[in-house]
Amino acid sequence: MKQIISTFPLVFFFLFFIYCTPTFSQSPAQAPAPPGPTNVTAILEKASQYTTFIRLLKTTQVADQLNTQLNNSNQGLTIFAPADNAFTNLKPGTLNSLTDQQKIELIQYHVLPSFFSVSQFQTASNPLRTQAGGSDGQFPLNITTTGNQVNITTGMVNATVANTVYTDNQLAVYQVDQVLLPHSLFTPPPPAPAPSKPKKHPSSDSPSSSDDTTHVDSSGGIRLSQHALRAMSSIILVLATSFGSILFVSV
CATH number at residue 179: 2.30.180.10
pLDDT in tens, 84-113: 999 999 999 999 999 999 999 999 999 999
Number of residues that this document lists for the chain:
251
- pLDDT at res. 32: 41
Asked whether residue 173 is domain-assigned, the answer is: yes
DSSP state of 42: H
- pLDDT at res. 230: 72
Asked whether residue 77 is domain-assigned, the answer is: yes
Number of structural domains the chain divides into: 1
Answer whether residue 202 shows pLDDT above 60.
no
Return d(Cα 23, Cα 29) in angstroms, integer.
Answer: 13
Asked whether residue 55 is domain-assigned, the answer is: yes
Asked whether residue 65 is domain-assigned, the answer is: yes
- pLDDT at res. 2: 46
Q: In 8-45, which positions are buried (b, 16+ CB within 10 angstroms) versus exposed (e)? A: eeeeeeeeeeeeeeeeeeeeeeeeeeeeeebebbebbe
Cβ–Cβ < 8 Å for 195, 100: no
Angle, alpha carbons 140-143-147 (nearest 5°): 175
pLDDT in tens, 15-70: 444 444 443 333 334 334 346 788 999 999 999 899 999 999 999 999 999 999 99
Asked whether residue 178 is domain-assigned, the answer is: yes
Asked whether residue 216 is domain-assigned, the answer is: no
Asked whether residue 152 is domain-assigned, the answer is: yes
Query: For residue 142, what are the domain limits?
Result: 40-186
pLDDT band at 188 (very low <50, low <70, confident <90, very high): low
Model-wide pTM > 0.75: no
pLDDT in tens, 215-239: 555 555 555 556 666 767 677 766 6
DSSP state of 180: -
Asked whether residue 212 is domain-assigned, the answer is: no
Answer whether residue 120 shows pLDDT above 70.
yes
